[in-house]
Structure 1
Amino acid sequence: MNGLEGKVIGITRPLERSQAAVEIVQDHGGIPLVVPTLELEAFASDSLMDLCQRAGEQDWIIFTSPASLESLFKYCPDFKEKLNTHCQVAVIGPRTERVLNDYGIQADIVPEDYTAEGLLKEFQGIDLDKKKIGVPRTFKARDVLPEGLRKMGATVYLAEAYKSTKPHDTSRVQLLVDEIIQGKVDAVTFTSPLTVTNLFEMAGDKKEQLINSFKEGKVLAAAIGPITQKPLEEMGIKSAIPSKYTVKAMLMQLKEEMSH
């Protein structure tokens, strides 16, 4: 029995990021249900425009998501030309690397472990003392990366590249909550802590029922990695998690769990 065959799989990631997941679910005979619990909004913040001006001073630029890359190049199209020749670039994982390559830039660092912790591990052997590092990202991101880099002696410049917000139209999320409670959804996938917390916050007075649907095994949860898994664990919800933190690996792990 193919684990995803005929199963309804909820995909909570932003619409513009859900295509790969949809295709993988369909390829394995599943029914993708795309209901973003998160919206990404590109944002020309003062700090981002400042990083654009200071591009030539940076020793490193670190991109932790495709959204940060796309926003920076949208508002600072000549960013690549502004970088000095010794500036190096690190990305958090292969998906961000692919987008970087689309802009004609090669990554100097892609960690084995696609997390902030994984990136910091890669930097351990590099002298960052007095080095300037630009990090465009959402200000809702964890502080693990900038704090770790500062401890290594770097001057970190954080620039707000986009905003992560709850969807403006909540009706589809409300419908997803009802369908999970009614047992019409077989599994829900989560790709960031905010996709988790937003869903449960938006459930409102149905939050307890929603939590119980997962706890009772009516619906399975799949998380892309341990950082996304954490808010689920805090609610007592078990989730499938892959050994490699990619969307494909997460869905293959889910398929495995659903084949039992």
Structure 2
Amino acid sequence: MTKQGRVYIIGAGPGDPGLITLRGVECIREADVVIYDHLVNPEILRHARPDARRIYAGKRGGEHTLVQDEINRRLVEEAGNGAVVARLKGGDPFIFGRGGEEAEVLREAGIPFEVVPGVSSAIAVPAYAGIPLTHRNHAASVAFVTGHEDPTKGKSDLNWPKLAGIGTLVFLMGVKNLPAIAENLIRCGKEPSTPAALIRWGTTPDQQTLTGTLGDIARKAKEGHFSPPAVFVIGDVVGLRETLNWFETKPLFGLGIVVTRPEAQAEGFSKLLRARGARVIHFPVIRIAPPETWAELDAAIDRLESYRWLIFTSANGVAFFFQRLQEQGRDIRDLKGIRIAAIGPATAAAVEALRIRVDLVPEEFVSEGVVRAFAGEDIRGSRVLLPRAKEARDVIPEGLAKMGATVDVAATYRTVRSDREAAEMLSFLAQDKVDAITFTSPSTVAHFLGIMGPDFHLPPKVRIACIGPVTEAAARKAGLHVDILQERYTIPELVDTIAAYFFS
């Protein structure tokens, strides 16, 4: 039986990847094919399955990658062949998004479809600029208008006299037609002194807001080389921006912060950075892989009952250890009588997520701190299991051995270089998009520089942020100047330190 194809026409929101709806994410995850426009944030594409085909159908500066007829044909063809298609459109698909036209084509072809509304840029962009579209003291009406009307055609389809009487006007895609829009509204009675604002790349860290009046905003936009995409807002409510501007005042607003952690572990870090207004640049330089052989860990699991302590030095070690424990036909019941230590709160949280209590967490979240924490424990004659990365310092096994313990080190995972290329990072640097690069382990330092190559030179304006003294030492040894250091090994505190550095 042939699989039934269908199309989800999804509003991807105005730019901030957090503003896509839950239903939209569900549909993207289900899709076999994703057809997306220019204004769709690339972060949203990360919700798609790794095997999903991605087709770019964007339009930029009037130039189409795929013309609308070709997009329509692709939708019908892909769904007709049994694929689930996610058609991603910026904002809301039924507000100046041509989503209605695409739905008509699908209905005519007998293709099932669903429309997933999105947060429209007409509403969200002014809100992110601190401009409420209605306010009981300033505006009781609002109108959304296309600014894309051809000014050379003989007769306008817009009723300018009626528009001039509306409290707040929001024009989409109107940057090129600003002079004509202002001229028509003023001619029909709108005061030239009416506050006006242009917001480009709204709801993103690249957001720029230009304010003025209806009478001078076109001149200001021309002088400032203000280019699309932008939302044009006219009305007394624009005056509230001075009081209500909340997004552009965030401590990391507009700053590009590179996250080099493995992609699977970067989301929490990225979320905290975005909450402070940063432009997060994902550039994972390592990936976490199983060890080349499980021999060491399997042997340790076979004699698990002989250990008095189990020490975890990373959340990765926790994940791989318990995965292998289960693969060997055992489970957490086999840990009975074994005490557990974790190098820091993040690692402890990974253990406790499995409903296992952690007995020891040092005050300093480094290997030296673990050794010092055991100074208060009598471990003479005890066996200790240390499941860790293949590449790691021997501070813990050597330190505990001096206290009389027998420490078995078992390679549980390894860090290997990712497949990211230097050209990607060099492009961001060339566009002046990078303000800081973060390193959370010595391996991220080594692999970042390995990817960039021996001839790489960091631009002077780019800051280096490290977590922990061990990572700092690795960065300095590699010739990098460390500008931002968070000595306690926690991601939230690193973000706080980065924000404090730039905000000051």
Give me the TM-score of the superposition, normalised by structure 1. 0.91
Distance 2:440 2:281 in 1: 15
Give me the TM-score of the superposition, normalised by structure 2. 0.48
Q: Which residue among 247, 252, 260 is the counterpart of 1:4?
A: 252
Report the AA paired with residue 335 of structure 2: L
Q: Which residue of 2 aligns with 1:220?
A: 463
Residue 16 (1) aligns with residue 264 (2): yes
**Higher percent of residues as helix:** 1
User: Contact 1:183 / 1:219 at 8 angstroms: preserved in 2?
Assistant: no
CA shift at 1:201, angstroms?
A: 1.7
CA shift at 1:245, angstroms?
A: 1.9
User: Contact 1:232 / 1:239 at 8 angstroms: preserved in 2?
Assistant: no
Counting only pairs closer than 5 Å after superposition, residues 139-178 of structure 1 correspond to structure 2 as: 139-167=390-418, 169-171=419-421, 173-178=422-427
Change (3 A) 1:177 1:49: farther
Q: How many residues align?
A: 251
Bigger relative contact order (CA 8 A; separation at least 6): 1
User: Contact 2:284 / 2:420 at 8 angstroms: preserved in 1?
Assistant: no
Residue 56 (1) aligns with residue 305 (2): yes
Change (3 A) 1:179 1:159: same
Residues 180-189 or 192-201, more deviating: 180-189
Distance 2:401 2:250 in 1: 48
List 4+ stretches of structure 1 deviating above 4 A: none
Counting only pairs closer than 5 Å after superposition, residues 54-93 of structure 1 correspond to structure 2 as: 54-77=303-326, 78-85=330-337, 87-93=338-344
Q: Which residue of 2 aligns with 1:240?
A: 484
**Higher percent of residues as strand:** 2
- Work out which of the two has the higher radius of gyration on C-alpha atoms and give 1 or 2: 2
Q: Which residue among 32, 38, 41 is the counterpart of 2:280?
A: 32
Residue 255 (1) aligns with residue 504 (2): no
Distance 2:480 2:409 in 1: 34
Report the AA paired with residue 19 of structure 1: E
Cα offsets for 1:10-30 (capped at 9, x unmatched): 000011110111110111111
Distance 1:178 1:198 in 2: 18
Local SS of the residue matching 2:258: strand
Residues 19-28 or 228-237, more deviating: 228-237
Change (3 A) 1:137 1:181: farther
Report the AA paired with residue 116 of structure 1: S
Distance 2:447 2:355 in 1: 35
Counting only pairs closer than 5 Å after superposition, residues 182-221 of structure 1 correspond to structure 2 as: 183-207=432-456, 209-210=457-458, 213=459, 216=460, 218-221=461-464
CA shift at 1:177, angstroms?
A: 3.9
User: Contact 2:464 / 2:480 at 8 angstroms: preserved in 1?
Assistant: no
Distance 1:241 1:83 in 2: 37
User: Contact 1:8 / 1:186 at 8 angstroms: preserved in 2?
Assistant: yes
Aligned-pair identity in percent equals 29
Change (3 A) 1:181 1:195: farther
Report the AA paired with residue 137 of structure 1: R
User: Contact 2:283 / 2:420 at 8 angstroms: preserved in 1?
Assistant: no
Local SS of the residue matching 1:196: helix
Cα offsets for 1:150-169 (capped at 9, x unmatched): 111110011111011001x2
CA shift at 1:3, angstroms?
A: 2.9
Distance 1:177 1:38 in 2: 18
Residue 229 (1) aligns with residue 480 (2): no
Report the AA paired with residue 346 of structure 2: R
User: Contact 2:467 / 2:487 at 8 angstroms: preserved in 1?
Assistant: no
Local SS of the residue matching 1:124: helix
Change (3 A) 1:160 1:79: farther
| Unaligned segments of structure 1, at least 5 residues | none
